[in-house]
């Protein structure tokens, strides 16, 4: 057992992340210590380095996503949602996400509540398993629990490339839905086609991309972009359709009221997911042998390169850190 370990720490907003040696954390009652083998980046980690996140406490080890081994050697993956609470519809006021304020997975060891440790899906590598938790959980709740996507329905996934959107595509195809994706990059659209996207539209060369779709062609939309995407989506949603929003690249969204009320449409907000969502997501991933889209794997020492790639939204799928 090591008494010191390597960890990726943020000391001040706006500073680069530092790889340093700190004390190895000890598990207390009800906690489990995981030897992390791979971790993954989320937009949240970048927001924290930029000071764009509530409740930042520094210095802190970042990272919400991790996979590794526990003391008896079993391979595990970590649910990053802490203290969700008893209500499946909404998290409790005590809820938090691993990696802020609690020290996260960008380290050789992380200590989490034992209930947050699950067996690693056997068909996944450590890197793939590390790519799964936060984005997979968010996408699963968005698509299944909140979006209620059914076989044969059509889902619109604007702005493919980020972690949640790529999982949304994978999950939608596993459900048996038809998937329409948009991106400003032909390369990302090509990758989306390889993952099963049925229709791909480049919004950079087709700014009126919504006009390429029929009115009422879409049953559900999963989005985090804000801006005028919502308005465009409302124009192609069928009556009784729904929009699930799990984040916001822009701060605000504007929409015309008429299509919303006239077509009985729902806009449903969601963040992360409950323990039941996480369990169901793992079962779904195992049953369909879904493999997360991994963009690149960086060694821990190149964590700031990984963060820069994330900040510039260059990735397709998850950016992973290998923890040696």
Q: Looking only at residues 226 through 245 of this chain, which bind its own copies when binding is defined by CB under 8 A?
A: 226, 239-240, 245
Q: Looking only at residues 85 through 104 of this chain, which bind its own copies when binding is defined by CB under 8 A?
A: 87, 89-91, 93
CB 284 within 8 A of CB 171: yes
Cα Rg for the chain, rounded, in angstroms? Answer: 19
Q: Please report whether residue 210 would count as binding its own copies according to CB under 8 A.
A: no
Contact residue for its own copies among 212, 267, 311, 322 (CB under 8 A): 267
β-pairing, 117-119 vs 318-322, is unpaired
Q: Please report whether residue 276 would count as binding its own copies according to CB under 8 A.
A: no
Contact residue for its own copies among 59, 101, 235, 247 (CB under 8 A): 247
User: Between 25 and 88, whose beta carbon lies closer to its own copies?
Assistant: 88
Least gap, CB of 144 to its own copies (angstroms): 15
Distance CA 117, CA 11 (A): 28
User: Between 25 and 247, whose beta carbon lies closer to its own copies?
Assistant: 247
Sign of CA dihedral 117, 123, 127, 133: negative
19 CB-contact burial (10 Å; exposed 0-12 / middle 13-18 / buried 19+): middle
Piece in contact with its own copies (CB under 8 A), picked from 112-120, 251-259, 285-293, 305-313: 251-259
CA atoms within 13 A of residue 35's CA, in its CB half-sphere = 12
Contacts of 54 (CB under 8 A, 6+ apart): none
Sheet holding 60-61, edge to edge: 18-23, 4-10, 60-61
CB 183 within 8 A of CB 160: yes
User: Between 196 and 227, whose beta carbon lies closer to its own copies?
Assistant: 227
Least gap, CB of 47 to its own copies (angstroms): 11
Q: Please report whether residue 205 would count as binding its own copies according to CB under 8 A.
A: no
Q: How many residues bind its own copies (CB under 8 A)?
A: 35
User: Between 251 and 287, whose beta carbon lies closer to its own copies?
Assistant: 251
CB 35 within 8 A of CB 97: no
75 CB-contact burial (10 Å; exposed 0-12 / middle 13-18 / buried 19+): middle
Piece in contact with its own copies (CB under 8 A), picked from 116-124, 153-161, 256-264, 290-298: 256-264
How far out from the chain centre does Cα 72 lie?
Answer: 29
Q: Please report whether residue 167 would count as binding its own copies according to CB under 8 A.
A: no
Q: Please report whether residue 271 would count as binding its own copies according to CB under 8 A.
A: yes
Least gap, CB of 295 to its own copies (angstroms): 24
Contact residue for its own copies among 263, 302, 304, 313 (CB under 8 A): 263
Least gap, CB of 258 to its own copies (angstroms): 6
Binding site for its own copies (CB under 8 A): 87, 89-91, 93, 224, 226, 239-240, 245-248, 250-271
């Amino acid at each position: 057992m090591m008494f010191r370990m390597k960890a990726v720490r943020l000391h001040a907003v706006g500073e680069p992340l530092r790889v340093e040696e700190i004390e190895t954390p000890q598990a207390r009652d009800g906690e489990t210590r995981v030897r992390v083998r791979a971790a993954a980046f989320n937009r949240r980690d970048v927001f924290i380095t930029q000071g764009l996140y509530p409740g930042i406490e520094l210095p802190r080890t970042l990272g919400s996503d991790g996979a590794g081994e526990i003391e008896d050697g079993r391979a595990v993956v970590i649910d990053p949602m802490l203290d969700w609470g008893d209500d499946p519809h909404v998290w409790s006021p005590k809820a938090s996400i691993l990696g802020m304020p609690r020290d996260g997975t960008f380290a050789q060891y992380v200590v989490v509540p034992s209930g947050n440790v699950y067996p690693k899906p056997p068909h996944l590598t450590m890197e793939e398993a590390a790519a799964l938790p936060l984005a997979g959980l968010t996408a699963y709740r968005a698509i299944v629990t909140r979006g209620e996507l059914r076989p044969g329905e059509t889902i619109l996934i604007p702005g493919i490339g980020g972690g949640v959107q790529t999982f949304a595509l994978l999950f939608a195809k596993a459900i048996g839905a038809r998937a329409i994706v948009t991106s400003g990059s032909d390369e990302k659209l090509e990758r989306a086609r390889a993952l099963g996207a049925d229709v791909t539209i480049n919004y950079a060369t087709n700014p009126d991309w919504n006009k390429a779709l029929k009115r009422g062609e879409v049953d559900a939309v999963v989005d985090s972009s804000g801006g005028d995407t919502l308005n465009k989506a409302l124009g192609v949603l069928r009556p009784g359709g729904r929009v699930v929003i799990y984040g916001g690249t822009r701060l605000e969204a504007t929409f015309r009221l008429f299509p919303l009320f006239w077509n009985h449409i729902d806009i449903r907000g969601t963040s992360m997911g409950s323990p039941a969502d996480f369990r169901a997501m793992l079962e779904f991933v195992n049953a369909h042998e879904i493999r997360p889209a991994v963009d690149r794997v960086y060694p821990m020492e190149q964590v700031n390169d990984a963060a820069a790639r994330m900040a510039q939204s260059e990735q397709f799928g998850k950016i992973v850190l290998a923890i040696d």
